[in-house]
Structure 1
Amino acid sequence: MVIVAIVFFVFMALGMPVAFAIGIAGLTFFLQNPDLPFTIPFQITVSQTQNFALLAVPLFIMAGNFMNRSGITERLLDLASVITGRMKGGLAQVSVLLSGLMGGVSGSAIADAAMQSRVLGDEMVRRGMSPGFTAGVISFGSILTPIVPPGIGMILFGTIGQVSIGRLFAAGFFPAILLWVGLSFAIWLTAKKRGYPPQRTTRPTLAEYGTAFRGGIWALLFPVFLLAGLRMGIFTPSEIGAFAVVYALFIGFLIYRKMNGRGFLHALEVSLGDVGSVMFLITLSAIFSYGIVFERIPEVISGSITGVTSNVSAVMVIIVLLVIVAGCFIDATVLIIMMTPIFLPLVRSLGGDPVHFGIVFIVAATIGNFTPPVGAAMYTVCSILKVPIGTYTRESIPLMIAIGVVALFLIFVPGAVLFLPNLLFN
């Protein structure tokens, strides 16, 4: 597997698309082992497309694109402004809360970061915030989006690791709140130090609260409906993806009436590209994963880590550090697909809860979207706002510290993650 890893990183360094780099590197393993039938990689690729549980992935991607075209973003922005507009940091606080509210809509950190860069970025700079701090807030704030259900990372982790997707959805709520509090506090400290003003100086009236909540209620109810449907056995995880699509169309056409024929076709076009890229990556990753299992890489890594410590919390800290370092070079989706079969059996063997580990693992994998040298969300925000990577990195340090503190808390206090899923699904 050493040669396979070298091939993968060489192709990545040359700028080859990740899916092709993984697929070709996986084929290299079979070229090294002529005793293995060369039909296996093609059989694996085809069989991966027939995994019924993965049907939820394209359905939730499509639902997210429909929700984005339904006019719900503007209403969530109004709601976030009413709730956090008077806090120090103003629009920065609004941006972070909006990312959490958008979790039930898009489920993609990169999509949320791109959207907020265009909607809020220039206005934040115009109101006196430094461009680097603005880019850091929008980028790091989008970590909330894949943690609030229905995050695609949760579906992938649950499918690959045979973990309850319903419990993962429920487990994401409280960690998302903690991440929001941590980021909000970091923004408050920075804003107090630099004198950044709040967005509004007057306290919202009850009428303003009522109007804002009425406007955003359909987005707020979306993850609640998902959990209720799973808990009561109305839907399977795959079926609830179809419900999400119908729900998004219902909101767009009948509630907000912002969806039209052109918007519908545009959402379908975007979904086709998104689904194609994600599913292509998943199918080719199966070739790579076969070599990992065949060479017993999980057992080797497990033995190395347990040789240092057998405490499950300490092991999770080591895994998180490894994932964060790997995330500096590999996309979060790829990390979840490639590393779940490696690390989840180790945590299970030590008595760790797979749902607890799943949320911590997804948080760690998502951090790579915001860090140099290949963070996708980082490059998206910095390119839109025209901010140098060095300036972005320097201004984002307080936000990174806040996320790190919350991640450590989640590792050592499993109850913070497991309280809600145990309550709903026990």
Structure 2
Amino acid sequence: MAVTLFVSILVLMTLGFPVAFALAISAALAVFVGGRYPQLVVFKEMFTGIDSFPLMAVPFFIFAAELMSGGALTKVLLRFAAQFVGHLRGGLGYANVLSSVLFAGVSGSALADAAGPGAMMTKMMEKAGYDRPYAAALTANSAIIGPIIPPSISMIIYTLQDESVSVGGLFMAGVIPGVVIAVAMAAVNWWVCKKRNYRSTEARPSTREIIINSLKAIPALMLVVLIIVGIRFGIFTPTEASVVAVFYAFACGKWVYRTLHWSAVPAIAARSALLTASVLFVMAASAAFAWVLTVEGIPQYLSELIISWHLTPVMFLLAVNILLLAFGIFMEPLPGIMILVPILAPISAALGIDPLHFAMIVIVNLTMGMVTPPVGGLLFVTAVATRTPIAALTRELPIFIVAQLIVLAILTFVPTLSTALPHALGF
């Protein structure tokens, strides 16, 4: 079964099958060839993989993000971000990064960030004289902040695979790493703009405009505060927080910004349903794939093999980084988390590595894979949303990848960046 599983996934991924279909078909073929279990077990494990109460947070956070976008949140946050840095050299690039940070606190999805505010910022940057491929590359690489800063769909999925961490703890653990990634992307923008002489054409806003734009942005920014404070003080669980976010997003769009109309709600609900279905399908297929691995004893074998090497914690983390970087090139973050975390997290705990620190390394690492060819989902979404040739976009990537590797090394060797905030707040 194991040989059939690995050969099938390799062939199907090479042929360009969507990740979810490749995982599900590989699991089904492995069970069929093995002959020890009925085919029905594949469907059973797929349904079992998504039969979880915490998973209800995923569709609600997606729906909240869509409601906020439909309620003019994107434009409000873009104006808020641009007013502080838009007049500087490379200012719209900084605004692109800052808008990704702000929108990350709403969507929890890198793809939503790239397709929404990221696409708008790319058009604004091109009109201001930036090369479109560079603007698109900055958008794609800044969008990886989405799954790092809370709320985060990836973090919710991670807690289902590792019971030693909580959703609230992971949410807090992602704040500082997300800011570090944003600083790295801003540094890249500074270097490129200086080298290519991208100058700002934006006028410095008046104090009155800054005050007005800031006041307008407060209701949108309060969503993040509401979620974090509510979870920290036990007012509601993360799943309940996602429902609160939906009602808050609807209230903001309908009665605060007054741009969300009843006629738009069905289309927003339909988009949210499609996004939710795609996420859950990936998770269901990953669960079936992981089940085959488990019954074949692959996780246990790998665990015993790695433990027999007697690696120090630092050597183990370096080995994990190399493994995840390679894995992330071909696999999306969600299936990567579901397949690898049950194998690696127990070994990490046995070596005395803080579970929150290890979780952030895994999540950041696999999220970086979304901007690495050939499977990088963010590259294709950004290329389509900004109408940029994928080859031209890819040529702009090396400096961004170097910056991300530096960030990953910092997060690996400075665990306090991931653990200080959640520990200070009692997680």
- Give your verdict on TM over 0.5: yes
**Equivalent position of 2:170 in the other structure:** 168
Deviation at 1:251? Answer: 1.0
Query: Does the 8 Å contact 1:132/1:392 carry over to 2?
Result: yes
**Equivalent position of 2:352 in the other structure:** 351
* 1:322-357 Cα distance to aligned partner (Å, 9 max, x none): 222222221222212222212212211211122111
1:188 maps to which of 190, 215, 218? 190
Paired residue secondary structure (1:374): coil
Structure 1 residues 287-296 or 262-271, which shifts more?
Answer: 287-296
Q: Distance in 1 between matches of 2:40 and 2:118?
A: 46
Rate the CA distance shift 1:308–1:397 in 2: closer, same or farther, 3 A: farther
Superposition pairs of residues 6-405 of structure 1, within 5 angstroms? 6-162=7-163, 163-200=165-202, 202=204, 204-306=205-307, 310-405=311-406
The letter of the residue matching 1:157 is: Y
Query: Does the 8 Å contact 1:80/1:94 carry over to 2?
Result: yes
The letter of the residue matching 1:54 is: L
* 1:309-330 Cα distance to aligned partner (Å, 9 max, x none): 6222332222222222222221
Q: Distance in 2 between matches of 1:246 and 1:174?
A: 28
Rate the CA distance shift 1:424–1:117 in 2: closer, same or farther, 3 A: closer
* 1:83-108 Cα distance to aligned partner (Å, 9 max, x none): 22233312111111111110022221
Query: Does the 8 Å contact 2:345/2:355 carry over to 1?
Result: yes
Deviation at 1:306? Answer: 4.4
The letter of the residue matching 1:189 is: W
In the alignment, structure 1 segments of 5+ residues that lack a partner are: none
* 1:161-220 Cα distance to aligned partner (Å, 9 max, x none): 222000011111111111111110111011111111135353x44433322221222232
Paired residue secondary structure (1:373): coil
The letter of the residue matching 2:172 is: A
Rate the CA distance shift 1:36–1:378 in 2: closer, same or farther, 3 A: same
Rate the CA distance shift 1:269–1:354 in 2: closer, same or farther, 3 A: same
Rate the CA distance shift 1:38–1:385 in 2: closer, same or farther, 3 A: closer
Residue 416, structure 1, aligned to residue 387, structure 2: no
The letter of the residue matching 1:85 is: G
Q: Distance in 1 between matches of 2:251 and 2:86?
A: 30
Counting matched residue pairs gives 425
Structure 1 residues 183-192 or 31-40, which shifts more?
Answer: 31-40
Rate the CA distance shift 1:308–1:187 in 2: closer, same or farther, 3 A: farther
Paired residue secondary structure (2:87): coil
Rate the CA distance shift 1:285–1:210 in 2: closer, same or farther, 3 A: same
Structure 1 residues 89-98 or 317-326, which shifts more?
Answer: 317-326
Query: Does the 8 Å contact 1:90/1:196 carry over to 2?
Result: no
Q: Distance in 1 between matches of 2:269 and 2:398?
A: 38
Query: Does the 8 Å contact 1:104/1:219 carry over to 2?
Result: no
Deviation at 1:304? Answer: 4.2
Paired residue secondary structure (2:71): coil
Q: What's the Cα RMSD here?
A: 1.9
How many percent identity over aligned positions? Answer: 32
In the alignment, structure 2 segments of 5+ residues that lack a partner are: none
The letter of the residue matching 2:69 is: N
Deviation at 1:38? Answer: 4.5
Query: Does the 8 Å contact 1:99/1:144 carry over to 2?
Result: yes
